[in-house]
Amino acid sequence: MSLEYVIAGAAVARSWGDKCVEWLSVELGVSRSLTDLLTPGLNFNPLALLISMTATTLLLKGVKESKAVTNFFTFAKVGLVLFFILGGFWFYNPANQTPLLPSEFGVSGVLRGATSSFFGYLGYDEICCLAGEAKNPRQNLPRAVLITLTLVSSLYVLAAISLTGMQHYTEISETSGFSLAFYR
């Protein structure tokens, strides 16, 4: 599990680092020389390192502090995803979802997209490690996991439908799909 979390944490930090660089260059118009400094290549991203170090420092501070930050970000993420879903359906255009399975991607494209949602399901194995902390683990853990998986899956599907309804699949940004779709 530790290796799983290291790899997932590195991938998420790298994604956040890339999004920060894009935000700095596109939205704030920061000079190209500074953004080149923040993305020197060789698969090294200084912002990802900073994000990883910040998360590690937070975890070392203690359980209470990391739990409060985790709860804050969880509620913020769910609220943001709900905003994206509602906004996406507000700007929904059914013509954007034609064809439903583009021939250049087909089933393999759908499967590739499904694998990218893998990160949304990380952490459920940790629940089994914490089963001893539950009051009635035999009853409460399976129920909690199933309810959470249902909610996460529903949010993923609704978000995908709203994004592809808001913007044609050929125009969706690989790094900032929703933010650039709303920008247009």
Residue 35: pLDDT over 80: no
The structure tokens listed for 161 are 């439908």
Last residue of a domain, one of 61, 78, 107: 61
Residue 184: pLDDT over 70: no
> Looking at the structure, do residues 70 and 138 belong to the same domain, yes or no?
yes
> Looking at the structure, do residues 23 and 56 belong to the same domain, yes or no?
yes
**Cα–Cα distance measured from residue 183 to residue 93, given in angstroms and rounded to the nearest whole number:** 16
Per-residue pLDDT, averaged over 47-70, amounts to: 83
Q: How many domains does the chain have?
A: 2
> Looking at the structure, do residues 11 and 51 belong to the same domain, yes or no?
yes
Residue 37's pLDDT band (cuts 50, 70, 90):
low
Cα separation values, 140 from 25, 67, 133, 135, 172, Å:
47, 20, 11, 8, 40
Please, what is the angle between helix 137-166 and helix 63-90, to 10°? 40
Nearest to 88 by CA among 8, 2, 156: 156
pLDDT tens across 85-121, in order?
A: 998 899 888 888 887 777 777 778 778 777 777 766 7
> Looking at the structure, do residues 148 and 84 belong to the same domain, yes or no?
yes
Beta bridge partners of 41: 44
> Looking at the structure, do residues 99 and 116 belong to the same domain, yes or no?
yes
Please, what is the angle between helix 2-26 and helix 46-61, to 10°? 130
Last residue of a domain, one of 20, 35, 61: 61
- The model's pTM: 0.67
Query: Higher pLDDT residue, 75 or 66?
Result: 75
> Looking at the structure, do residues 50 and 82 belong to the same domain, yes or no?
no
CB neighbours (10 Å) of residue 42?
Answer: 5
> Looking at the structure, do residues 105 and 38 belong to the same domain, yes or no?
no
Peptide bond into 99 cis (omega under 30): yes
> Looking at the structure, do residues 50 and 69 belong to the same domain, yes or no?
no
Single-letter amino acid code for the residue at 135: K
The structure tokens listed for 34 are 């500074």
Hunting for tokens 């997209």 — which residue is that?
A: 113
> Looking at the structure, do residues 83 and 162 belong to the same domain, yes or no?
yes
> Looking at the structure, do residues 72 and 47 belong to the same domain, yes or no?
no
Domain span at 28: 1-61
> Looking at the structure, do residues 152 and 137 belong to the same domain, yes or no?
yes
The structure tokens listed for 55 are 């998360």
Q: What's the whole-number average pLDDT of the chain?
A: 79
> Looking at the structure, do residues 19 and 49 belong to the same domain, yes or no?
yes
pLDDT tens across 38-51, in order?
A: 666 666 778 888 88
Hunting for tokens 């070392």 — which residue is that?
A: 60
Residue 79: pLDDT over 90: yes
**65: which residues sit within 8 A by CB, 6+ positions away?**
58
**Cα–Cα distance measured from residue 128 to residue 28, given in angstroms and rounded to the nearest whole number:** 44
